[in-house]
Structure 1
Amino acid sequence: MPYGLVMGASGDIGEAICRRLAANGWSLYCHYYQNEEKVLNFVSDLRSHYPQQDFFVVSLDMLKESEITGFLTQLFQVDAVIFSAGHTVYDLLTEVSSEAIDALWQVHVKTPLLLLQQLQGKLSAGKQGRVIFIGSVYGHRGSSMETVYSAVKGAQEAFVKAYAKEVATLGITVNAVAPGAVDTRMNQEWTEEEQAELLAKIPMNRLAKPAEIAAACSYLCSPEASYTTGIILPVTGGWME
């Protein structure tokens, strides 16, 4: 039975990924830092639906490197890591604080790399390891008012392409899913006017559903994807592509 670690399981996309992988027969480590109650509730649901699989709830503040060692001791078999944790900052570059820049870099790039340094051995054990970053269309197209977020998402894409080459002979694939606008809590703060303006730019004229991002992860975690590595898979409804 494969075991996956989903970082950011408390988010809407993270939860959707957990539910899809569980349906595919995966046991999971469901990571959170905030929204503990939400994670405990859906993990309880998964345990009742899939009693033959294991579901663990694990916590880590991704801003605190000192907690990484203790976090890793909770993980045994790991066949896939999906990095879905993260946040953005809406502001002009001239208004973004140094602390905010550090936090975006730490959560989206540095901590994932530190985790992979320690998890590579586990991922290579079965010669079918999977690493997936939930990136963003902004990582390769960029967005004003989210310049730092665009930068760290671009860094994820560059890392994916490089690390995929480094670990290919170990049987580990490394890919990124790059969503466009997704119907999550993070995007519910938009006004009706802002939503209408965005939808007008999307050829499919709607936001993505978290389950559609999870479906892309499902493929990349599947045995059929063993020859797919180093790619950035846009799930954007045709927006900005």
Structure 2
Amino acid sequence: MKDVLITGASGGIGRAITMNYLQKGDRVFAHYNTNAVSIQEMEAEYSYADLVPVQSNLAKKDGVAVLTDKVEEVDTLILNAGNSYFGLLTDMSGDEIDAMIQLHLTSSIKLAKHYISSMVQKKQGSIIVVSSVFGLSGASCEVVYSSVKGGLNAFVKGLARELGPSGVRVNAVAPGYISTEMNARISGEDEQTLVDEIPMGRAGQPEEVAALISFLDSTEASYISGQIISIDGAWQ
């Protein structure tokens, strides 16, 4: 049994990841900020499982300390917390930019810094970042989102090299268009136009992202580290 911390566990992809680990019998520390209902629904569905809700606002500077005070060490860290902003860079406020950088990038780096100490001591552990294809290609009207995801990709590459000698693996998955609440703003003709650009002709499902993460955290992937693996139906 593993101890797994999943940030952003209340969202579409986060829920799928959480349920995957619960079904395997692992203890899951399910982080959320405001969507307690989503966590409560999983608690009810998996009443037999070891699910530990942990609330913290990682868009604030004290968010990491609040979280690490509640969860001391883990075997697997999945950095999935995030949100998007669709609009021109010139329309974003300074506070919105700061909050996105804090949530996606700064908090992720600080959480990894905290949890790798015990992983290095045990000579094993896994860190998996949920990035985005936009962190690889960039996206108009999602400039800051693309920037922080690109920063996370570079973070994965660097940290994997740093931790390789200690037996700790670091990888990222880069989803494309996934059918989640965060993407619910895209609908109707706009969604069809987007789907038409995807060679596989459909949106991805959260469960497919969760399955890829499960593989990366398994012994079958023991020689995979420092990789950014796209899961986008050949879109980008």
TM range (shorter): over 0.9
Please report how far the alpha carbon of residue 186 of structure 1 lies from its aligned counterpart in structure 2 after TM superposition.
1.4
DSSP 3-state at the match of 1:90: coil
- Is the CA contact 2:60–2:103 (under 8 Å) kept in the aligned structure 1? no
Over aligned residues, Cα RMSD in angstroms? 1.3
Please report how far the alpha carbon of residue 67 of structure 1 lies from its aligned counterpart in structure 2 after TM superposition.
4.0
Q: Distance in 1 between matches of 2:73 and 2:85?
A: 35
Q: Which of 49, 53, 64 is residue 57 of structure 1 equivalent to?
A: 53
User: Which consecutive residues of structure 1, in runs of 5 or more, have no partner in the other structure?
Assistant: none
- Is the CA contact 2:73–2:115 (under 8 Å) kept in the aligned structure 1? no
- Is the CA contact 1:128–1:226 (under 8 Å) kept in the aligned structure 2? no
Q: Distance in 1 between matches of 2:153 and 2:64?
A: 23
2:190 equivalent to 1:200? no
Please report how far the alpha carbon of residue 119 of structure 1 lies from its aligned counterpart in structure 2 after TM superposition.
1.1
User: Which consecutive residues of structure 2, in runs of 5 or more, have no partner in the other structure?
Assistant: none
DSSP 3-state at the match of 2:129: strand
Q: Give the percent of matched residue pairs that are identical in Structure 1 and Structure 2.
A: 36
Hey, what does 1:166 align to over in structure 2?
162
Q: Distance in 2 between matches of 1:83 and 1:67?
A: 14
Q: TM-score, normalised by structure 1?
A: 0.94
Deviations 1:69-106 (A, max 9, x none): 34212214400111111011111122221111111110
Q: Distance in 1 between matches of 2:164 and 2:190?
A: 43
2:102 equivalent to 1:118? no
Hey, what does 1:129 align to over in structure 2?
125
Query: Which letter does structure 2 place at the counterpart of 1:71?
Result: L
Q: Which of 96, 103, 108 is residue 104 of structure 2 equivalent to?
A: 108
Hey, what does 2:38 align to over in structure 1?
38
Hey, what does 2:12 align to over in structure 1?
12
Q: Distance in 2 between matches of 1:150 and 1:170?
A: 31
Q: Distance in 2 between matches of 1:99 and 1:14?
A: 25
Hey, what does 2:24 align to over in structure 1?
24
Query: Which letter does structure 1 place at the counterpart of 2:37?
Result: E
2:128 equivalent to 1:146? no
DSSP 3-state at the match of 1:175: strand
Deviations 1:30-72 (A, max 9, x none): 0000110110220232232x4xxx2211011102222433421
Tell me the number of residue pairs that the alignment of Structure 1 and Structure 2 aligns: 236
- Is the CA contact 2:56–2:66 (under 8 Å) kept in the aligned structure 1? no
Q: Distance in 1 between matches of 2:42 and 2:91?
A: 38
Over 3 Å counting, the alpha-carbon distance change for 1:55 and 1:101 in structure 2 is same
Q: Distance in 1 between matches of 2:120 and 2:155?
A: 18
